[in-house]
Amino acid sequence: MAEEVPKIKIMKGATADLSAATFQIHDESHTIGNALRWMLMKNPKVEFCGYSVPHPSENTIQVRIQMYDKLSSLAALIQALSDLDDLCVAVGDAYDTSLKTDSYERWVEQS
């Protein structure tokens, strides 16, 4: 058995207070990377946020976060993850409501 890869780790070069750090997230792609970057950039305490897929055949993304006021980038990351979760719930609810209550065209597709 291969060694267990951590889902998320802090890469070399982070500041001691984690106000600026690069996180490596295993087994994720642009799907989560771009959405997470967007949500982090929505945080006014985030000075900079960017993500990259370092190599197409390596199954990881790297998310760089730099904070104002020496705040923790890890806390901002956790906050962004839970905000994204709220967003998903909101979109799902709006979709379910539309599907149930809106009037829309129904048609039969021939194959």
Partner 1 sequence: MLSLDDPRRHVHVRAERVSAVSSTDYPGHYPDEDHSWNLAQFKDRMSVKVQRLSQKSIDFDLVCVDASIANAFRRIIIAEVPTVCFEFVYVFNNTSVVVDEILAQRIGLVPLNVDPDVMLRRTDPSDQPTDRNTLVFKLKVACEHNPAAPKGATAPSQLYINHEVLSGHLQWEPVGEQESVFENNPPRPTNPNIVLTKLRPGQAVEMDLHAVKSVGKDHAKYSPVATASYRLLPHIILNPEKPIPPHLAEKFQKCFSPGVIRVDPVTKAVSIDPVGVRNDSVSREVLRHPEFEGRVELKRIRDFFLFNIESEGPYAPEQLLPEAIKVMREKLDTIRKAAEALLADTQAMDVDMTMS
- DSSP code of residue 45: T
Distance of closest approach, residue 52 Cβ to partner 1, in angstroms: 14
**21: nearest Cα among 31, 30, 32, 9:** 9
- CA terminus-to-terminus distance, the chain: 46
Q: By C-beta, is 44 or 54 nearer to partner 1? A: 44
Q: By C-beta, is 58 or 86 nearer to partner 1? A: 86
Cα–Cα distances (Å) from 15 to 12, 34, 58, 66, 73, in that order, read: 9, 24, 26, 10, 10
Distance of closest approach, residue 13 Cβ to partner 1, in angstroms: 15
- Both tokens of 4, joined, read 């267990």
Binding of partner 1 by 56 (CB under 8 A): no
Q: Which amino acid is at 81?
A: L
Q: By C-beta, is 54 or 106 nearer to partner 1? A: 106
Residue with the two structure tokens 């998310």: 63
Binding of partner 1 by 67 (CB under 8 A): no
Binding of partner 1 by 105 (CB under 8 A): yes
Given the rule CB under 8 A, which residues bind partner 1? 6-10, 18, 23, 25, 28-32, 34-35, 37-39, 41-44, 72, 74-75, 77-78, 81-92, 94-99, 102, 104-109, 111
